[in-house]
């Protein structure tokens, strides 16, 4: 029978792998890129950075650091003007 600590470690490993997978999908598929105007959930702005774990967007006065998990849960809207 696995111990509580080994179960916890396995769970953390799965969560970390899932985060890396989401980031990898975003980086490979590139549904949006640096300079794109986007809306993710309630945040909207211009994409400044995309990495394995977060997407950074900023508007006129604020920078938002959005976990890629939220991108997958809420979806993303590219805003075309």
Structure confidence at residue 32 as a pLDDT band (50, 70, 90)? confident
- Domain boundaries, position 71: 4-78
Is the predicted pLDDT of residue 6 greater than 80, yes or no?
Answer: no
Q: Is the whole-model pTM more than 0.75?
A: no
Structure confidence at residue 34 as a pLDDT band (50, 70, 90)? very high
Counted domains in the chain: 1
Q: How would DSSP label each residue in the chain?
A: ---HHHHHHHHHHHHHHHHHHHHHHHHHH-SS-TT-EEEETTEEEEEEEE-SSEEEEE-SS-EEEEEHHHHHHH--EE---
Residue 56 half-sphere exposure toward CB, CA atoms < 13 A: 5
Residue 75 has a pLDDT of 84
Residue 9 has a pLDDT of 52
For residue 20, the domain's CATH number is 2.30.30.60
How confident is the model over 39-79, as pLDDT tens digits?
999 899 999 998 888 899 999 989 999 988 888 888 889 99
């Amino acid at each position: 029978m696995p111990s509580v600590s080994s179960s916890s470690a396995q769970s953390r490993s799965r969560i970390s792998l899932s985060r890396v997978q989401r980031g990898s999908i975003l980086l490979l598929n590139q549904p949006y890129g640096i300079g794109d105007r986007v809306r993710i959930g309630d945040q909207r702005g211009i994409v400044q950075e995309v990495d394995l774990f977060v997407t950074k967007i900023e508007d006129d006065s604020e920078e938002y650091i959005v976990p890629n998990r939220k991108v997958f849960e809420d979806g993303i809207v590219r805003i075309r003007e």
